[in-house]
Amino acid sequence: MIALVRAEVLKLRTVWSTWVLLAITAVLVGALAAAVGFAPHRREGVVFPPRGTVAWFDSVFSIMAISLDLALVLGVIATTGEQRHKTVTSTYLVEPRRGRVTAAKLLVCAAGGAVVALVAGAVGLGLGFAVVGGGFGNTNEMLTEFRHVWPGVAASGVLFALYGVGLGALLRNQVVSIIVGLGVTAIVEPIFVAALPSVGRWLPSEAAQALESVTARPHVRGLGSNTVHLITWWEGALVLLAYGLLLAAAGSFTTLRADVT
Amino acid sequence: MTAIEVRGLTKRFGAVLAVDDLSFEVRAGTVTGFLGPNGAGKTTTLRMLLGLVKPTAGSALVNGVPYHDLPDPSRAVGAVLESTGFHPARTARNHLRTIATAAHLAPSRVDEVLELVGLTADADRRVGGYSMGMRQRLELARAMLGDPEVLILDEPANGLDPQGIAWLRGFLRWFASTERVVLISSHLLAEAAQTVDEVIILARGRMAEQGPLEQLLRRASTTVRVRTPDAERLVGLLQGAGINARRQGDVVDAPSTTADTVGRLMADNAVVVLEMSTSGESLEQLFFEMTAHGAMGGPGPDIPAAATVPGPYGGPS
C-alpha cells in the first residue's frame, strides 16, 4: 500500500496540471481576496467593514474557501486522468486489486487537498501581513482571525478532495465529473438551500461551511430571512467524509469493476 | 510446466459472443503466436488473462493462478497492450518511475529498461511528442520493468516501421532465447511466422487451430501434380520417399514437397512425364481458409471470407 501511495504522489508531481491547479489556487485566492478587501467601502447599499478591522480580515480570509473547488478538481483529475489518458491499464496491471488503487488515491488526494489549502492559506496570510504592514489593523488580530478561518478551510479542502476522488471514481469521465462537482456546489446547492433548507444544509458546500464554522462563525449564515442554520461542524465533517468514501465505494463496485478495454 | 492455462474461457459483450469456450495452454520456454483476423477475440482473451476484462465463464490462469492473485504481477507477467496510454505531459522516465514505484522495483530498473529499448536519449522528453514507434518501445520498456517470466504482446508490430519491426523481432528472439514465455498476438501470420514456435489460431472467438508452426508450414507447402502414363509406379516411388502421394487416373498429386524433389525422383527412375505443375498454398492462404471457415472443432455460422479476413496489410484489430 505504501508503494501505491508513493506511486500516486509521483503521478501527481509529474504532471503539469497539478502545478497549474496550485497556481490557479494562488491567483484566484489572491485576486478575489484583493477584490473583496479593497472594494469601495460602500457599494449598492452594502457596507463593507473598514480595512484592517477584525470583520474585514474575516471576509478577506473567507475567500480562501474558494480553494475547496480546486481541491475537488484535484481529486477528480487524479482519478479520471487515468481513464482519460488510458494509463489505467498499466495501473491495474501493476495492482490488479482496484480497490487498493482507489484507496491510495483517496489518501494521496487528501494530502493534495491539504496542499491546496496551504497554498490558499499562504496567499491569504501574505495578504494579511501586507495589509498590516500597510498600517491597517494589527498582527495579533489578523493572526487570530486567520486561525479562526483557515483550519476549517483546510479540513474542508481535504474532504473536498476525497469527494472529488469519489466523484471521479463513479463517473470516470473527467469533464462530466468536474461539471457535476462544480455544478452541484454552484447551482444545485443554492436551489436546495433556498427551496428545501433542511436538505440543502446537508449538501457538500453547506457541510463545508458548517465545518469551517468550527473555529469561526456562529452556526448561521446569510442575512435576515435568508438565514440558513448550518449543521454542526462535526456533522459537516462526517457528511463530507461520507460523500467521498461512499462515492468512491460506489465507484469501486460499479464502474471500477467494469472491463478495461 | 504450463505458464498460461485457459479453460472454457467465454466472454459475451451484450449480444456479441467475443470469446466462445476457448481452451489452450502455453508451455514455459516457447514463443506462441496468438493469431486470427481482426475481431477474432484475441485482445479480449489477452485482457481476460491479465484481469482487465472479466470472463463471462471459464478461467484464465498465469502460473496456475488468476492474474489478480499473482503475488507480484509485474515480476510474473509483462504485457504490451494496444490502447494503453501515457499521460502526454509526463516524461518517459517519469512514466516508468510511477510504475516501478507501484511495483516495488528498484529505481535502477527504469534506466535499464530505457537502455534495453533504446530510449535513453529521449527519456526526459514528454511522451506527448513521441512517435508511434517510440511509444511502442516505451510500452515494451514498461512491460520489461519487472524482468518478467512471461511476456504478453498484443499486436506489438502495429504502427511500427520496417526498422521497428526488425528491431522488435530481434528483441523477441533475444527474450525467447532466455527460456522465457512469449504469447504474441497478430493478425498477420507471415509476420508471426518469423518469431513463433507454436501457433494458436482463433476465428470468431473459437479455436481454429493449435500446434507447432512446423506442422502448419508443412500443410502450407507446395503440391506437385504430374500427369504420367506411369502413375501407379510413380505413386509407389513417391510413397517410398515418404511423400503421401495420391493417384487419380493418370494424374498424381504429391503434397508437401517440391517440384525439384519430384523431378529428380522421376528422372532417376525414368518416369515419363506428360505434364507437371505445382500448386502452392501460401501460409496466408491457409490462414485465411482456417479463419474464414470458422472453428474446425465445430460448425460456426458461415460468413463471407471478405467480411472477416483483412488484407495482408490490414489495420489493427
Question: A22-78 pLDDT, tens per residue?
Answer: 999 999 999 998 888 777 666 666 667 788 888 888 888 888 989 999 999 999 999
Question: Percentage of chain A surpassing pLDDT 70?
Answer: 90
Check: CB of residue A174 under 8 Å from CB of residue A81. Answer: yes
Least confident among A132-141, A208-217, B24-33: A208-217
Comparing CA positions, the residue from B20, B108, B99 lying closest to residue B56 is: B20
Closest CB from B68, B85, B142 relative to A86: B85
CA angle B273–B274–B279, rounded 5-degree value: 85
Check: CB of residue B192 under 8 Å from CB of residue B199. Answer: yes
SS (H, E, C) chain A: CHHHHHHHHHHHHCCHHHHHHHHHHHHHHHHHHHHHHCCCCEECCEECCCCCCHHHHHHHHHHHHHHHHHHHHHHHHHHHHHHHCCCHHHHHHHCCCHHHHHHHHHHHHHHHHHHHHHHHHHHHHHHHHHHHHCCCCCHHHHHHHHHHHHHHHHHHHHHHHHHHHHHHHHHCCHHHHHHHHHHHHHHHHHHHHHHCHHHHCCCHHHHHHHHHCCCCCCCEECCHHHCEECCCHHHHHHHHHHHHHHHHHHHHHCHHHCCCC
**pLDDT higher than 60, residue A223:** no
* Distance of alpha carbon A200 from the chain centroid: 18
**Which residue, among B96, B99, B109, would best test binding to A if mutated, counting the most A CBs under 10 Å from its CB?**
B99
Between CA B193 and CA B185 the distance in angstroms is 11
CB contact under 8 A, A259 and B54: yes
**pLDDT higher than 80, residue B64:** yes
Q: Find, in chain B, the residue whose alpha carbon is nearest to that of A99.
A: B68
**Which residue, among A93, A252, A260, would best test binding to B if mutated, counting the most B CBs under 10 Å from its CB?**
A93
Confidence of residue A136 (pLDDT cuts 50, 70, 90): confident
What is the model's pTM?
Answer: 0.79
**What is the pLDDT averaged over residues B83-93?**
87
Sign for the pseudo-dihedral over CA of B5, B8, B13, B18: positive
Q: What share of chain B is helix, strand, coil (3-state, %, to 5)?
A: 35, 25, 35
Q: What is the set of domains in chain B, with CATH numbers?
A: 2-215 (3.40.50.300), 221-279 (3.30.70.270)
**What is the pLDDT averaged over residues B195-200?**
86
Decide which of B38 and A81 is more confident.
A81
**What is the pLDDT averaged over residues B269-279?**
88
Order of strands, sheet of B2-13, starting from the edge strand that comes earlier in the sequence: B16-27, B2-13, B57-62
Specify the pLDDT at position B45: 94
Closest CB from A15, A90, A96 relative to B51: A96
Between CA B208 and CA B200 the distance in angstroms is 8
Confidence of residue A149 (pLDDT cuts 50, 70, 90): confident
**pLDDT higher than 60, residue A93:** yes
Angle between helices B231-240 and B259-268 (to 10 degrees): 110
Distance from CA of B58 to the nearest CA of A (A): 16
Order of strands, sheet of B275-279, starting from the edge strand that comes earlier in the sequence: B246-248, B251-254, B223-227, B275-279
Specify the pLDDT at position B111: 95
Residues of A in contact with B95 (CB under 8 A): 87
What ipTM describes this predicted complex?
Answer: 0.82
Between CA A81 and CA B306 the distance in angstroms is 39
**What is the pLDDT averaged over residues A162-176?**
90
CB contact under 8 A, B54 and A257: yes
Residues ≥6 apart with Cβ < 8 Å to A78? A8, A11, A12, A105, A108, A109, A112, A164, A165, A168
Specify the pLDDT at position B316: 38
**pLDDT higher than 80, residue B220:** no
Partners of A47 in beta bridges: A42
Confidence of residue B308 (pLDDT cuts 50, 70, 90): very low
Specify the pLDDT at position A222: 45
CA angle B248–B254–B255, rounded 5-degree value: 120
Decide which of A216 and B315 is more confident.
A216
**What is the pLDDT averaged over residues B247-275?**
88
**pLDDT higher than 90, residue A111:** yes
CB contact under 8 A, B101 and A261: no
Q: Which of A34-48, A219-233, B22-36, B186-200 has the highest mean pLDDT?
A: B22-36
Put simply, the chain A residues between 16 and 55 with a CB less than 8 A from any chain B CB are 16-17
- Parallel/antiparallel/unpaired status of strands B16-27 and B2-13: antiparallel
Between CA A157 and CA A160 the distance in angstroms is 5
Residues of B in contact with A81 (CB under 8 A): 87
- Parallel/antiparallel/unpaired status of strands B181-186 and B31-35: parallel
**pLDDT higher than 70, residue B281:** no
Between CA A219 and CA A210 the distance in angstroms is 7
Check: CB of residue A156 under 8 Å from CB of residue A216. Answer: no
**pLDDT higher than 90, residue A122:** yes
Specify the pLDDT at position B317: 39
